[in-house]
């Protein structure tokens, strides 16, 4: 069934949902999302959301921390805008029903994470994202102007290309008219015509074997925009979280929040030695690029599969109060955080790059906005400051709504969009070809395009990715569309973008580190 809507939002994490709530005052909003409505990276966010709320903190300090973390590649205008709008956006999300922990004096219980010079992270115990997702979805469900279609996969955005017109990369007049979406129930690809389309598809951690990201994080938005010849930037800056729980066989990895280090936990080697003092004066609370690289180095030098996080000195009641889920998880696998050290390792966690957008979240494609992790706003530069991403999503969704609600008045639905062409395709004989290629891609990305790179590793990665690409495109040509096949194509596309961007970056900066390059 084809549909028309004023605003099409692709994705139901913090970015898509907060945009939808606002835009619903200006027209009909349709949210499509490929899994259950609440499944997203947002749902798993632990540490919290960074914002200046304490009298002892200042916008300037948050700005300096963000810029320092971004290692010279942040867009300072974007940083200043996000930080100075943080308070208003936090007030809004509280009005929508999200609750953040307070201390005995009724003040927000602010946590600290790596790279922050102050305690400034608002949190809901250690499941802040779950709380935010809950509150937003509750508001969405009672909003008559918003419809949510779960289990609908956006396959591609619709541009002039689909109308038979030639579209070249860098062309200024590419426009978006909506999206083709695969309905899981009918197995049909439907046309969704929209005046405004908002990409809110999140990150791409699933391109790596070891990741904290859930299965949905396959970089679909970045791939769709790249295919549509839109601008995508900074893809080499993949952030590895230093402390995922080492629990062989569990995928994705369970996260041990950086807020645990903010509460005093210390990184140690298997024989109980502290090591972060060798790498940075801030020790275990240095920025993530530095801590993840330090852990990677210690593991390689010592031949260990993990390092330890020592929380034994943190009062047990304090630990349980702030980190009940982490505590439970550790107990469930036989680790008692008060008497045992927690084995941890770095895992792919966050994409700093993505769809290039301006200060209004508008992409290089007309009528197409991008918000949240799939976007590259300039806030993060070469390395994201912890807990800045939930904040970025709120601020840019607000900016997008302000701009898009005016734009929508001057746009009509595009006529003449052809139905999805599935001619000549058949049911796949073997689905296992898709799963094998997904696994192979994840392994090669982890082996060759991880925390430490080299020219030789990147060359190998590119050659192997090209083989997987050719095999998968052949499948795509002749196979009936499935979400698994679409995701594999998108993962390959993202892997290619990361490798090419890493090859092109000829200096070590932030999260990009190659043994063949000099550090700036
Ligand atoms: P998501 O929340 O990932 O939502 C994307 C949505 O798009 C999903 O609903 C998905 O199903 C849908 N989607 C994707 N592709 C398609 C498609 N093709 N068709 C239809 N739907 C699609 N950040 C912080 O600031 N603080 C934290 O404490 C924090 N902790 C984290 C802990 C973990 C374990 C993880 C994984 C991340 C954490 N982050 C944290 C990062 C942060 O959670 C994410 O960057 C943020 O939630 C992204 O929000 P989003 O709305 O952009 O995307
Ligand atoms: C964490 O809780 O450590 C994750 C915070 C983030 O990714 O911003």
Task: State the DSSP string of 28-56.
Answer: -EEEE-SSSTT-SSGGG--S-EE---STT
> By alpha-carbon position, which residue is closest to atom 2 of ligand 2?
47
Contact 396, 361 (CB under 8 A): yes
Report DSSP state, residue 206. G
Contact 65, 115 (CB under 8 A): yes
Label residue 496 by pLDDT band (50, 70, 90). Answer: very high
Q: How far is CA 41 from the centre of its chain?
A: 7
Residue 202 alpha carbon to ligand 1 centre in Å:
5
- E-assigned strands of 254-400? 266-268, 307-310, 342-351, 354-356, 368-370, 375-376
pLDDT reported for residue 206 = 98
> By alpha-carbon position, which residue is closest to atom 4 of ligand 2?
47
Contact 151, 185 (CB under 8 A): yes
Q: Give the mutation target among 351, 387, 392 for probing the ligand 2 site: most ligand atoms within 8 A of CB.
A: 387
| Residue 179 three-state SS | strand
Tens digits of per-residue pLDDT, 283-338?
A: 999 999 999 999 999 999 999 999 999 999 999 999 999 999 999 999 999 999 99
pLDDT reported for residue 171 = 66
Ligand nearest to the CA of 130: 1
Contact 15, 205 (CB under 8 A): no
- Residue percentage of the chain with pLDDT more than 90: 95
| Domains of the chain listed by start with CATH number | 3-45+126-236+352-410 (3.50.50.60), 242-347 (3.90.700.10), 432-480+482-504 (1.20.58.100)
Q: Cα–Cα distance between 499 and 211 in angstroms, integer?
A: 18
Tens digits of per-residue pLDDT, 378-414?
A: 999 999 999 999 999 999 999 999 999 999 999 999 9
Task: State the DSSP string of 274-298.
Answer: B-GGGT-TTGGGS-HHHHHHHHHHH
Report the chain's C-alpha Rg in angstroms: 22
Ligand nearest to the CA of 115: 2
Contact 390, 53 (CB under 8 A): no
**Pocket, ligand 1, Cβ cutoff 6 A:** 10-16, 32-35, 39-42, 44-49, 128-129, 153-154, 200-203, 212-213, 216-217, 220, 255, 350, 372-374, 387-390, 393
Which residues are tagged catalytic? 288
Phi/psi region, residue 115 (left: phi>0; alpha: psi -120 to 50; beta: rest), is left
User: 0.85 exceeded by the pTM?
Assistant: yes
Tens digits of per-residue pLDDT, 94-138?
A: 999 999 999 999 999 999 999 999 999 999 999 999 999 999 999
Ligand 2 atom closest to the Cα of residue 258 is: 3
Ligand nearest to the CA of 45: 1
Q: Give the mutation target among 113, 214, 284 for probing the ligand 2 site: most ligand atoms within 8 A of CB.
A: 113
Q: Cα–Cα distance between 264 and 266 in angstroms, integer?
A: 6
Q: Give the mutation target among 10, 120, 128, 202 for probing the ligand 1 site: most ligand atoms within 8 A of CB.
A: 202
Tens digits of per-residue pLDDT, 440-488?
A: 999 999 999 999 999 999 999 999 999 999 999 999 999 999 999 999 9
Nearest-10 Cα torsion for 214, 198, 499, 292? -50
Residue 384 alpha carbon to ligand 1 centre in Å:
15
């Amino acid at each position: 069934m084809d549909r028309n809507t004023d605003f099409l939002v692709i994705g139901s994490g913090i970015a898509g949902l907060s945009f939808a709530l606002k835009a619903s005052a200006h027209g009909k909003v349709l949210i499509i999302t490929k899994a259950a409505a609440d499944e997203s990276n947002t749902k798993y966010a632990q540490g919290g959301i960074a914002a200046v709320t304490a009298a002892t903190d200042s916008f300037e300090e948050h700005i300096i921390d963000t810029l320092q973390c971004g290692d010279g590649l942040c867009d300072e205008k974007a940083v200043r805008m996000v930080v100075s709008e943080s308070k208003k956006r936090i007030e809004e999300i509280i009005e929508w029903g999200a609750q953040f922990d307070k201390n005995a004096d009724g003040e927000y219980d602010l946590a600290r994470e790596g790279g922050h010079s102050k305690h400034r992270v608002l949190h809901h115990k250690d499941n802040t994202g779950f709380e935010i997702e809950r509150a937003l979805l509750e508001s969405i469900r009672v909003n008559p102007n918003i419809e949510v279609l779960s289990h609908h996969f956006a396959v591609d955005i619709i541009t002039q290309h689909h109308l038979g017109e030639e579209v070249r990369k860098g062309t200024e007049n590419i426009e978006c008219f909506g999206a083709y979406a695969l309905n899981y129930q009918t197995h049909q690809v439907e046309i969704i015509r929209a005046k405004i389309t908002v990409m809110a598809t999140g990150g791409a951690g699933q391109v790596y074997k070891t990741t904290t990201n859930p299965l949905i994080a396959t970089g679909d938005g970045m791939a769709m925009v790249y295919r549509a010849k839109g601008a995508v930037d900074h893809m080499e800056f993949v952030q590895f979280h230093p402390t995922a729980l080492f629990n062989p066989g569990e995928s994705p990895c369970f996260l041990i929040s950086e807020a645990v280090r903010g509460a005093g936990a210390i990184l140690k080697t298997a024989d109980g030695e502290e090591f972060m003092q060798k790498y940075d004066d801030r020790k275990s609370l240095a920025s993530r690029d530095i801590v993840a690289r330090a852990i990677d180095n210690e593991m390689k030098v010592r031949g260990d599969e993990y390092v330890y996080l020592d929380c034994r000195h943190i009062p047990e009641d304090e630990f349980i109060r702030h980190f009940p889920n982490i505590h439970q998880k550790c107990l469930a696998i036989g680790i008692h955080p008060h008497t045992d050290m927690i084995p941890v390792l770095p895992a792919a966690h966050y994409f700093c790059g993505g769809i290039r957008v301006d200060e209004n979240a508008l992409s290089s494609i007309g009528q197409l906005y991008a918000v949240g992790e799939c976007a590259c706003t300039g806030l993060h530069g070469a390395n994201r400051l912890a807990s800045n991403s939930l904040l970025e999503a709120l601020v840019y969704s607000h900016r997008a709504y302000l701009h898009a609600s005016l734009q929508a008045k001057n746009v009509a639905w595009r006529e003449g969009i052809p139905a999805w062409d599935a001619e000549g395709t058949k049911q796949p004989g073997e689905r296992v070809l898709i799963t094998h290629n997904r696994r192979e891609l994840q392994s090669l990305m982890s082996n060759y395009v991880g925390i430490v790179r080299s020219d030789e590793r990147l060359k190998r990665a590119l050659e192997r990715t090209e083989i997987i690409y050719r095999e998968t495109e052949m499948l795509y040509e002749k196979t009936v569309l499935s979400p698994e096949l679409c995701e594999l194509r998108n993962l390959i596309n993202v892997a290619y973008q990361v490798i090419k961007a890493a090859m092109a970056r000829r200096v070590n900066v932030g999260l990009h580190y190659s043994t063949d390059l000099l550090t700036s």
